[in-house]
Structure 1
Amino acid sequence: MYAVIGAGPMGLATARNLKKYGIPFVGFDLNTDVGGLWDIDNPHSTMYESAHLISSKTMTEFKEFPMADDVATYPHHREMKRYFQQYAAHFGLYEHYEFSTRVVQVLRDGDEWLVTTEAKGEEQCRRFTGVLIANGTLHTPNLPNLPGRFDGELMHSSEYRHPSCFDGKRVLVVGCGNSACDIAVDAVHRAASVDMSVRRGYYFLPKFIGGKATDSIGGKIKLPRALKQRVDDRLIRMIIGKPSDYGLPDPDYRLYESHPVVNSLVLHHIGHGD
């Protein structure tokens, strides 16, 4: 018997494969349902109301369980939660999970593992052949220690839920990753002003090129990595230009050597002085 910790996308994929090959297991999740971070009601979720996938559905879905035709190219987080619920139901994974259950401790005991869980105030210790951990990597915010004094509101992106919190405020977004750009675009419509603090250059990719999801283009012809970097870089420059055209620093590394920003609106609003 194996233990699976987590019922997000990776936990469900793990559970599916264990069941597919007839390997007995028990799954644990602190939340009341599957979905992991994609369930905004999950106490550990860092999701915000406007969040959508930054990869297209066809590049994200499980191959043996495609998303429905009526699902948008870049699904909303509630659509993703529904998809993972359907996946778990279709492959009979719910019956293997214990929800509202916290894994308190995992200890090695010879060739096996002792897993202590807590549910409804009661602890239980069970022995397993192995433990597969899929508890995610984004639960705890990484806040830098900045010198000086700031009397305004300080919020990490993991706490952000709805743009109404920006109403009438002067907002500084620190960082320029995908969440930062999503939040900056949200804030533009509600805040008195929005600024972004950027320490390095990023590559910006639009979500659509020629009506097709950007990450679905060019997959039929496999190019060497170095050639693909040059070709895609030229294509993106032709379509949207360089970051420095918008007053942002240009990256000092090649495309795909770091995660690009997939956002069609942040450069639009910078270009409009928003």
Structure 2
Amino acid sequence: MENMFRLMGSEEFSDRRRCIWVNGPVIIGAGPSGLATAACLHEQGVPFVVLERADCIASLWQRRTYDRIKLHLPKNICQLPKMPFPEDYPEYPTKRQFIDYLESYANRFEIRPQFSECVQSARYDETSGLWRIKTTSSSSISGADMEYICRWLVVATGENAERVVPKIDGLTAEFEGEVIHSCEYKSGEKYKGKSVLVVGCGNSGMEVSLDLANHNANPSMVVRSSVHVLPREIFGKPTFEISMMLMKWLPLWLVDTIILILAWLVLGNLTKYGLKRPNMGPMELKAVTGKTPVLNIGAVEKIKSGDVHIVPGIKGFSNHHVELVDGHILDLDAVVLATGYRSNVPSWLQENDLFSKNGFPKSAYPDAWKGKSGLYAAGFTRKGLAGASADAVNIAQDIGKVWREETKRQKMRTRVVYRRCISLA
């Protein structure tokens, strides 16, 4: 699958990297999106190389998630192409179960990523018509710089590649308590009896606050803007499945109206607890902005009981205190920044056709998976694992079609040469 060669451009004299030719595509990222794409290519008979900067697959799940996390959506919606979850898995698999599933998935489709390969740059060489991907290895074994040369490049680094850390007055210079991002949070056990401020009210903020309350901490959660909070299930049926079913028959605004009425029946009026809903409905908001509604798995009950306090925006930090925009001052032991993640694609991909400056494709779903010159994007749909799976299938079919046609032509040329040799003999 790999042959060593060197493209002798002027830059090669100053850049002493090993060059590797890859017959098929290079996939950057060994998370669910990259694994799904690799599996679909495997089924198409197309060789590939997967590059991963971490030392494991699905590093977000293995290294940067808290212990209590589960899939927010039912397993039948989250399974990757070609392999369902085991039948004995619960409706919402745990963190460990999902990781086990991904590891089994990689083994089944013979996906063996090149770990500890951090991509420094990727650019399309107009002269050769090939992609050139420069990497630096953090492996203690090799520690070598590499350059991969290929015809197709699949960007599968995902929507959550880098943590977002907001700049808040006094947080880094004056606050004397512990400050961590939610990707570093594992359990509320060590925060028992402590006052913790959770900055952010998305799914991570809600779950961290819930976990802190369950471990007898004193959590306060910052809610600066409006947020949709929906029950994970409505009358025993997953809310997401109900929404998808209704959208097959009804306009989006009517689906949102029905979902919000059902949510009010299950959760009640949350405005009086400090959780104000946006003017735009939850499904429309996700379609327009990609912002996912919060699925309640117990945080609302803790808010209603007073075990989780809702507070407004932050004015600034000092010593062991935080001053809020309403003038109140809270004593704090720690701060958890549940402020989300961002794409890192603009920092290394040198192109301006498929991706915009925010690291997401310029085109909306379902047309965001393919660019020009053999460039593809997997897992940037803002539609979770289902969207990543759809991207993977499309990408593999697109590359596979070209691969089969060219392989067929190569075989035909080989047969012609062979026949000529026979006739000459």
| TM-score computed with the length of structure 2 as normaliser | 0.59
- 1:100 paired with 2:116, answer yes
- In structure 1, the gaps of 5 or more residues are 41-45
Q: Which amino acid aligns with 2:106?
A: A
Identity level (%): 32
RMSD over aligned CA atoms reads 2.0
Aligned partners of 1:171 and 1:191 also within 8 Å: no
Q: In structure 2, give the amino acid aligned to 1:229.
A: D
5 Å matches for 1:186-225?
186-217=211-242, 219-221=244-246, 222=248, 223-225=250-252
Deviation, structure 1 residue 245: 3.9
The one of 153, 159, 167 equivalent to 1:137 is 159
**Which of the pair has more CA radius of gyration?**
2
Equivalent in the alignment of 1:230: 257
Would the aligned equivalents of 2:36 and 2:81 in 1 still touch at CA under 8 Å? no
In 1: Cα distance, 2:214 partner to 2:243 partner: 35
| Corresponding residue for residue 252 of structure 1 | 279
Tell me the alpha carbon deviations over residues 167-186 of structure 1, each in whole angstroms, 9 at most, x when there is no partner.
22111111100000000001
Which residue of 2 is the match for residue 21 of structure 1? Answer: 44
Deviation of 1:218 after TM superposition, in Å, equals 5.6
Counterpart of 1:263 in structure 2 is 296
Letter in 2 for 1:72: P
Q: Is the contact made by 2:188 and 2:217 (CA closer than 8 Å) also made in structure 1? A: no
Q: Does 1:158 align with 2:183?
A: yes
Amino acid at match of 2:152: G
One-letter amino acid of the structure 2 residue matched with residue 242 of structure 1: N
SS of 1:249's equivalent? coil
Amino acid at match of 1:88: A
Whole-Å separation in 2 of the counterparts to 1:224 and 1:170:
45
Letter aligned with residue 29 of structure 2: G
Mapping of residues 45-124 of structure 1, within 5 Å: 46-94=64-112, 97-110=113-126, 111-117=129-135, 118=137, 119=139, 120-124=142-146
Distance 1:39 1:219 in 2: 30
Detail structure 1 runs of 4+ shifted over 3 Å in the superposition.
218-221
Note the C-alpha offset of 1:220: 4.3
Count of matched residue pairs: 267
- Following superposition, the deviation at residue 16 of structure 1 comes to 2.0
CA distance in 2, matches of 1:220, 1:174: 34
After superposition, the Cα gap between the structure-2 partners of 1:102 and 1:255, relative to the gap in structure 1 and judged at 3 Å, is closer
For structure 2, the 5+ residue unaligned runs are 1-22, 286-290, 308-425
Seen in structure 2, the aligned counterparts of structure 1 residues 129 and 146 have a Cα distance that, compared at 3 Å, is same
Q: CA deviation at 1:199?
A: 0.8
**What displacement does 1:76 show?**
1.1
Report the TM-score, using the length of structure 1 for normalisation: 0.89
**CA positional deviation for 1:113:** 1.6
- The alpha carbon displacement at 1:38 in A equals 1.9
**Cα deviation, residue 147, structure 1:** 1.8
The more displaced of 211-220 and 175-184 is 211-220
Supply the AA of the counterpart residue of 1:206. Answer: P
Q: Give the letter for the 2:153 counterpart.
A: V
Structure 1, residues 78-105: CA drift from partner, whole Å, max 9, x if none? 11111111222222223xx322333333
Return the alpha-carbon distance in structure 1 between the equivalents of residues 218 and 57 of structure 2. 38
Aligned with 1:217: secondary structure?
Answer: helix
SS at match of 1:155: strand
> Structure 1: how far apart are the matches of 2:28 and 2:186?
26
**More relative contact order, 1 or 2 (CA 8 Å, 6+ apart):** 2
More helix by share: 2
8 Å CA contact retained: 1:184, 1:266 = yes
| Structure 2 equivalent of residue 43 of structure 1 | none
